[in-house]
A = this chain, B = another copy of it.
């Protein structure tokens, strides 16, 4: 990794944390499944790891939460390792310009999802993983555990089963894609994997560690192993930049200026390539479904540390 003048990230995180305490949080906790609804809405954790593998942390950074859609970056990475560029025949790399679970665009574009982070795209990626691996769930866990350095990291089956019980719309997306010939496996199996994927639990610390390969040219800094090529790491970052925040990707690029991905559990991961990976968690969501405080935390961190990619 590129060297950089030592920045006192700990001071910045503490400063940002204090600033947030005074802020009115007009967001709402996700309530579509009980496991998310019952989370303490006032939690706030931030964890940053820099290119020299130094850790900086404030608040509830060591508490587990449901990473939800953030896991879609990990399933994409695994599918890309398996399939390479042929993956893009099944799913695009363009921003969607509409809600994360809309069927409209999917129908107009004949069942090929716009990108791997809208629900339809992540479902196609799960379909690919099922075709590739005999035990896709174990394979996924093995992959994520190696990245996180925590061999016990796992799914939350209660979350996964709840998601499955309320996943009518995802079911609609999957059936529509099957109708267009873009799902190879049994729909129930595909959605089962999708729901388990979204149920992964991590702390901010674990999340920042897990995604360090995207700040480090595709290399897992814990093991030195090449996760994906340098060029593929850049491409995943590019997709996060354009598609990582549902219908608020522009706003995030505009105010934060880093590639990132959010989840309805209130987590956000952001990457400053060659510099750092930072995870935030605050459960209340804004009207676009992204963590209200999380967005503000990242805007403050990048403003103070002057660390936009632009």
A115 at the interface (CB under 8 A from B): yes
Q: Is the CB of B243 within 8 A of A250?
A: yes
- A249 interface residue per 8 A CB criterion: yes
Contact A105 B97 (CB under 8 A): yes
Separation of A249 and B233 alpha carbons in the complex (Å) = 18
A184 on the B face (CB < 8 A) = no
Tell which of B103, B233, B247, B259 touches A176, judged by Cβ atoms closer than 8 Å.
B103
Within 8 A of B (CB), among A161-209: 168-169, 171-176, 178-179
| A171 and B172 alpha carbons, distance in the complex (Å) | 7
| A115: B residues at CB distance < 8 A | 250
A94 on interface, CB distance cutoff 8 Å: yes
Tell whether, in the assembled complex, residue B257 and residue A253 are in contact, meaning their CB atoms are under 8 Å apart: no
When distances are taken between beta carbons in the complex, the residues of chain B under 8 Å from A169 are 175-176, 179
| Tally of this chain's copies | 4
Nearest chain B CB to A30 CB, angstrom units: 16
- For A114, list chain B residues within 8 Å (CB): 97
- Considering only CB atoms and an 8 Å cut-off, how many residues of chain A contact the other chain? 49
> Counting CB contacts under 8 A, is A234 at the interface?
yes
Binary interface encoding of chain A residues 275-310 relative to chain B, with 1 for a CB under 8 A from any of its CBs, else 0 = 000000000000000000000000000010000111
Expressed in whole angstroms, the Cα–Cα distance for A171 and B248 within the complex equals: 29
Cβ of A107 and Cβ of B98 under 8 Å apart? no
A92 in the interface (beta carbon within 8 A): yes
When the two chains form the complex, which single residue of B92, B108, B251, B309 contacts A309, counting CB atoms closer than 8 Å? B309
Contact A259 B97, beta carbon cutoff 8 Å: no
Given contacts A92-B250, A95-B249, A250-B115, contact A175 B179 (CB under 8 A): no
Which of the residues B93, B173, B231, B303 comes within 8 Å of A251, measured between beta carbons? B93
Is the CB–CB distance between A239 and B243 below 8 Å?
no
- A180 to chain B minimum Cβ distance, whole angstroms, is 8
A23 beta carbon closer than 8 Å to chain B: no
CA distance A235 to B254 in the complex (A): 5
Q: Given known contacts A169-B175, A171-B172, A172-B172, what 16 new A-B pairs fall within 8 Å (CB)? A: A92-B250, A94-B249, A95-B242, A95-B250, A97-B98, A103-B104, A104-B104, A168-B175, A168-B178, A168-B179, A169-B179, A234-B308, A239-B250, A239-B253, A241-B253, A242-B249
Task: List 10 tightest A-B contacts by C-beta distance, closest first.
Answer: A97-B97, A237-B310, A168-B179, A172-B175, A94-B250, A95-B95, A93-B250, A238-B253, A171-B175, A172-B176
Q: 5 interchain pairs (CB within 8 A)?
A: A97-B97, A234-B308, A238-B250, A239-B253, A309-B310
Could you tell me which A residues sit within 8 Å of B by CB distance? 92-98, 102-105, 107-108, 114-115, 168-169, 171-176, 178-179, 231, 233-235, 237-239, 241-243, 247-251, 253-254, 257, 259, 273, 303, 308-310
